[in-house]
Structure 1
Amino acid sequence: MRNLVLFWEYLKNYAKTRLAYRSDFWIEVMSDLLSQALNLIFIWVVFRHTSSLGGWSQAEVIFVYGFFMIPYGIFGMIFNVWNFGERYIVKGEMDRILTRPAHSLLQVLLENVDPPALVGSAVGAVIMASCWAELGLPFHLYDLLLIALFVIGAVLVYAGIYTALAAISFFSDSPTGIMPLMYNIQNYGRYPVNIYNKAIRFLLTWLLPFAFAGVIPASYFLEDKGDGMSRLAWLTPVMGLVVFGLGLSLWNYGVKRYRGAGS
């Protein structure tokens, strides 16, 4: 309950700040929408040259992309740790964080909360619903519960990986530069993994399981391709808990090793 109260207070502070600079807020929203639109245009261009992609139709690939946008938007709102090393380690703000009673990771997340990222989740839900109707997929009320379960698991997958990457800053005083690389890798998880070779497929499924944040859970609602992905979808919440647990453990270990910014 205390954490929820903290979350609400930080949201109010965010709103006050953004209301003072409303144009910046809308520019951020529009730039995010433009980025998503360009990705959809890319998919459209690809399917102008082929009728299927690894056995997936255009509507199915866009359906997967729509699902991907939902957890990624939620993750982007809560786990905004892109500049953790530069701001909290190099500039010494981690010392301030550690003087407060709340968990250090929670404080960092609350200070960097980014509600406009949820716009992407809303757009993803609309895309997913549109493709659902176009594909003529059967719909049951429990599908909403399954979507929520898979989305939570996908958010935890993202959260675990990027929390671990942020925690690396505890062991190095300089930014690692790994996050931009990881951002590029994660984009492969929004497309059907069977279009890649076995090495990349293994990487995206079991080592850096971004496929569990996109194509694998989304495939549960689509026609079975005979590749077993729809059955793997049930592992999404389990994978999320495992990955986030590992990321949080590395974070806690890094905090214990942290000795301050020094002079």
Structure 2
Amino acid sequence: MFYVTIFFQYVAQYMKTRLEYRADLLVEIFSDLLFQVVNLIFILVVFGHTEFLNGWSREEIIFIYGFFLVPYALFSSFFNIWDFNERYIVKGELDRILTRPIHSLFQIILERMELESLFGVVTGIAIMFYAGGELGLGIRWFDPFLFIVLVLGGVFVYAGIFIMIACISFWADARTSIMPMMYNIGNYGRYPVDIYNQAIRFVLTWILPFAFVGVYPAAYFLGREEWFGYSFLTPVIGAVFFGLSVFLWNEGVKRYRGAGN
């Protein structure tokens, strides 16, 4: 309950801060929506030249993209640690974090919140409903609950990967450009993995499992039975990668000796 209370206190302060500059907030929301629209247009352009992409129809690809937006939006709202190396290690702000009686990773997550990114959840669900309507997909009573479980699994996959990348800074505190590259690789998860070669497919499934953020869980709702095994693995992969990332974080914090050393 202590952590829950702290979380809502941070959210309240964040909202007060953001609402002080409403125009800036609206511009950021509009920019996020524009970025999502551009990606959707790219999909439409691709299917302007072909009816199917390795057996996947345009509406199925759009549905996968819509699903991908939901866990990605949640991740973007609460796990903005892309500048962890420069801000907290190189500039020494982690020293301030470690003086407080609360887990350091939890503090950084709260400090780096960007709740305006949650609008991506609305966009993603809207895209899914549109594509699902075109495909004639139905909604069973348990689908919303399964949807939440699979989305959270995707969030933890994303969070686990990027937290582990941030942990590199505990052992190599020089500035690094791995984060931007990984964000670009993560975008591959919003397309069916079987359009890639075997090597990339293996990486996106077991090494950097971004496929569990988009195509694998979405395949369940699309009725792609050949992918159901991967779909139900999503929360397991998410728990494994997030648990491993927290373990590495704790070990890294033990190794950390301060900005002055």
TM range (shorter): over 0.9
What corresponds to 1:253 in structure 2? 251
Structure 2 stretches lacking a partner, 5+ long:
none
Deviation at 1:182, TM superposition (A): 0.5
Inter-partner Cα distance in structure 1 for 2:118 and 2:138: 27
Equivalent AA in structure 1 for residue 192 of structure 2: P
Q: What is the identity, as a one-letter code, of the residue corresponding to 1:182?
A: M
SS in 2 for 1:141: coil
8 Å CA contact 1:61, 1:192 repeated in 2? yes
Shift in Å, 1:133 = 1.4
SS at match of 1:108: helix
Distance 1:241 1:195 in 2: 27
User: Residue by residue, what CA displacement relative to the aligned partner does 1:165-223 show, whole Å, maximum 9, x if unpaired?
Assistant: 11111112222211111011111110000000000000001110000010000001113
Corresponding residue of 2:171: 171
How far apart are residue 16 of structure 1 and its match? 1.7
- Aligned match of 2:144: 144
Map 1:64-213; keep pairs closer than 5 Å: 64-213=64-213
Is contact 1:77-1:113 (8 Å) kept? yes
Structure 1 residue matching 2:142: 3-state secondary structure: helix
Superimposed CA distance per residue, residues 24-83 of structure 1 (whole angstroms, 9 cap, x where no aligned partner): 111111110010000000000000000001100000000000000000101111111111
Residue of structure 1 aligned with 2:233, choices 214, 232, 235: 235
Matched, 1:13 2:13: yes
Q: Deviations over 1:64-112 (max 9, x none)?
A: 0000000010111111111111111111110011011110000000011
Q: How many angstroms apart in 1 are the aligned matches of 2:93 and 2:11?
A: 20
Structure 1 residue ranges, 4+ long, deviating more than 6 angstroms after superposition: none
2:28 pairs with 1:28? yes
Distance 2:196 2:116 in 1: 33
Cα offsets for 1:219-256 (capped at 9, x unmatched): 011132x7x32221000000000011111111111100
* SS of aligned partner of 1:113: coil
Per-residue CA deviation, residues 94-148 of structure 1 (Å, 9 max, x unaligned), is 0011011110000000011110110011100111111111111122010011101
TM-score (norm 1): 0.97
Q: Distance in 2 between matches of 1:185 and 1:19?
A: 33
Question: How far apart, in 1, do the equivalents of 2:149 and 2:70 lie?
Answer: 12
1:49-60 alignment, distance < 5 Å = 49-60=49-60
**Contact 1:220-1:231 at 8 Å conserved across structures:** no
Structure 1 unmatched ranges of 5 or more: none
Report the secondary structure of 2:138's partner residue: coil
Residue in 2 that maps onto 1:42: 42
TM-score, scaled to structure 2: 0.98
CA distance in 2 between partners of 1:47 and 1:134 (Å): 15
Instruction: Work out the CA distance in 1 between the residues paired with 2:138 and 2:185.
Output: 33
- Quote the offset at 1:23 in angstroms: 1.5
Aligned partner of 1:114: which letter?
E
d(CA) in 1 for partners of 2:170, 2:13: 28
- The alignment's C-alpha RMSD in Å is 1.0
Say which SS state the counterpart of residue 92 (structure 1) adopts. coil
Counterpart residue identity of residue 91, structure 2 = K
